[in-house]
Structures are given as structure tokens and as C-alpha cells.
Amino acid sequence: MEPFKIHILGCGSALPTLRHYSSSQVVEIRGKQFMIDCGEGTQMQLRRSRIRFTKLSAVFISHLHGDHCFGLIGMISTFGLLGRTAKLDVYAPAALEQMLDEQMRLYCHGLEFEVVFHVVDTTQQQVIYEDRSLTVESVPLEHRVPCCGFLFKEKPTMPHIKRDMMDFYHIPVSQIYNIKGGADWMTPEGEVIPNSRLVEPVEPARSYAYCSDTRYIPTLYERIKGVTALYHESTYGEDCIQHAEKYYHSTALQAAMVARDAQVGKLLLGHYSSRYEDENVLLEEAKKVFEDSFLCDEQMIFEL
């Protein structure tokens, strides 16, 4: 199975600490790498993670709070210094486009690559990126500014032919595509060979939902039902639920409720408030509702 990995570069919230970097992740899928959010320090974390700068093909920005986008212009500048020539796609709310253009005029003279900006409507769930192997959808969230999450969905693959069975039944090469598509085979004697005997089982398609800053949305689970893994912000514990409500954030327990209702494979917790010296208190709250909950930490890699 092709790799599908989530590289955690930063999982802290707005106030910088010595323990956590601002929000950023890299999704690695089938040889392609996509960045989600780009807070301060992202470049250093890329270095530590040994992720090649040149392999990043797109950046998805969830919203325009600094801890999710202050690192973008610095990273673009560094790409220029490294001699990048491949275009970089940036998907973000509309308000970032003019600001990014002005920053690039000031700080990024002579870039030899194109930065292509794609406006994301944070109020709609829709496909914003697609290639032969995956789609990326926007997921509307509720925060103090326009904000959305991102849903990465692997496209199903076709099954592998069992060559020995093809040879045994003398099935012509011209029929391979039909059999991969689910067709049975009938021998000259009229015996029907079921498709399951001719192909290897297909690996189930994987998916990953990234739910950035948001207050608890009771219906959010409907948009991300059954994903292999869910990252959901868990800024606070239940001891600070009033802060969560005031600042449009979620508690770890609320994140677990979304994971439970969506029947996800695993829940990744992050975007911790700086008030917590030990995030295990958040993990314990989440596990009361959803057992397969995990704390994110810098340099962690989750494989789907």
C-alpha cells in the first residue's frame, strides 16, 4: 500500500511556548506532499522532519489567524533562495490573496516559480483540489473569522490481477481491464469463474479530515463520516469550557464527541492552549468518550 502519512510540524495555539510550534502539518500521500497551515517556525520544523522543501506542491490555509499563516511568506522566500522552479498552489480564504501579493512584492523579488492562489469559500463543502489519486474538500467550520477544514480522500484503486489464475484459465490480455472492473470469466465449457478468484482484494481507500479552529459543531460529524483519521482542535479542557465558547474553540471532550459520532478510525488532538503544562489531562477527557484518541506532538508521524 502506498504511504499515507500525517507529519505533525506544530500543534500549539496562538501564544508561543517553548514546547509547541504554531499549527502546521504535512500530508504525504502516494508520493505527493501537501501542507496544511503554516504558522511561525514551520521552516525549522520542515528541516527537523527532513521533509524536502521541493516536494511540497500545495499549501492549504484554514483561516487568517497568525498562528496558522505567519510562516507562509517566509517559506515562499526560502523556496526562492533554494532555486525552486515548480509552481506552488496556495488554497486559502479570499482575504489572504491581496496581503500575500503585497508581501511577495516587498520580500520575494525575482522568484523563478509561480505562486498560484486559489480562493476557498469557507462556507461550502466542495472539492477544491483533485488529481488522479485523491481529492481535497473544504469543510465549513465556525470560528471568529472565516475558517474551514480540509478533507483528504484517497481515490479507490483497481484490484491486482492474479497472473497465475489468468494463465490457468487462458484468459486473454484484452480482458484484463474488464476483470479489474469486476467482471467474471466464462470458460469455453461454460463454467463461470467468479471475479474474486481472479483478482487480489482491493485495499480500502483512506481519508483524513483536518478540523482547524472551531467551536463545537454538533452536526460536523455528518461532513466527515467514517474518515480513517480525524484531527480536531482541542484547545481547552472542560475546566475552560467558557473560554472555548467565548473564543469559538473546542474542548478535547467535544472533539471526541465529533469523532465518536463520525465513527472515525482515530482522533488526533492538537492546538493546545498554553495554559496546559501537561496535555494528558486533555487526552484523558477525550478517551472517556472516544478511546482511540491520541495527542499530537511535534515530529510525530501518523500512518493511515
pTM of the model: 0.91
Residue-range domain boundaries for the chain:
4-157+203-303, 163-197
Mark whether 164 is an active-site residue.
no
Nearest-10 Cα torsion for 92, 94, 96, 100? 100
pLDDT at 59: 98
**pLDDT < 70 positions in the chain:** none
> Can you tell me whether residue 234 is helix, strand or coil?
coil
Class of domain 4-157+203-303: alpha beta
**Start-to-end Cα distance in the chain:** 10
What DSSP designation does 212 have? -
State residue 33's pLDDT score: 97
Task: State how beta strands 207-211 and 229-233 pair.
Answer: parallel
Order of strands across the sheet with 148-154?
127-130, 134-140, 148-154, 207-211, 229-233, 266-270, 293-295
Q: What is the pLDDT of residues 242-289, one digit of tens each?
A: 999 999 999 999 999 999 999 999 999 999 999 999 999 999 999 999
Q: What CA–CA distance (Å, rounded) separates 49 from 64?
A: 25
Cβ neighbours, 10 Å, residue 117? 16
Burial of residue 104 (number of CB atoms within 10 Å: 0-12, 13-18, 19+): middle
Q: What pLDDT was estimated at residue 101?
A: 96
Q: Per the residue annotation, which of 37, 67, 184, 213 is the catalytic one? A: 67
pLDDT at site 160: 84
User: Which candidate, 1, 2, 6, places its Cα nearest to that of 28?
Assistant: 6
The CA angle 58-123-129, to the nearest 5 degrees, is 25
Q: From residue 36, how far is each of 26, 89, 91 by CA, in Å?
A: 6, 12, 10
What does the radius of gyration of the chain's CA atoms come to, in whole angstroms? 22
Look at residue 70 and give its three-state secondary structure.
coil
The reported pLDDT for the residue numbered 190 is 85
- Give the dihedral sign, CA 96/102/108/109: positive
Cβ atoms of 84 and 53 closer than 8 Å:
yes
